[in-house]
Amino acid sequence: MAVLYPVIGQWFRRPSGTLFEVVAIDEDGATIEIQQFDGTIDEVDFETWPELLLTEVSAPEDWSGSVDMDPEDYAGLKEGEIPAGFHDPLAFLDKI
């Protein structure tokens, strides 16, 4: 099996079925920061990466996994529609 190199923005699947995305690579610290589909952030060191037996996959179509929302927040939305208030991440900051 060929070793898959980490690329920021690429999604992978572990043998257990867990999906995650590479969100950062720290060359100095020799670590790869990943975000699992449920939003959990984790780190993997360069030495451990080849041992994970990963499969490269496409990004999931269900974007709600890593978003902290209740089902009521996106119930009734049409395919591809984003809930109100989630268009601009700066909209959540207090205005001066």
Q: Are residues 19 and 11 in contact, defined by beta-carbon separation less than 8 angstroms?
A: yes
Q: Is residue 40 part of a domain?
A: yes
Whole-model pTM?
0.64
Q: Is residue 6 part of a domain?
A: no
Query: What pLDDT band is residue 37 in, cutting at 50, 70 and 90?
Result: confident
Give the structural domain span for 33: 11-58+68-92
Q: How many domains does the chain have?
A: 1
Q: Is residue 1 part of a domain?
A: no
Type of residue numbered 44: V
Say whether pLDDT at 44 is over 90. yes
Q: Is residue 85 part of a domain?
A: yes
Q: Is residue 4 part of a domain?
A: no
| Closest C-alpha to 37, from 7, 17, 8 | 17
Tens-place pLDDT, residues 47-61: 999 999 899 999 887
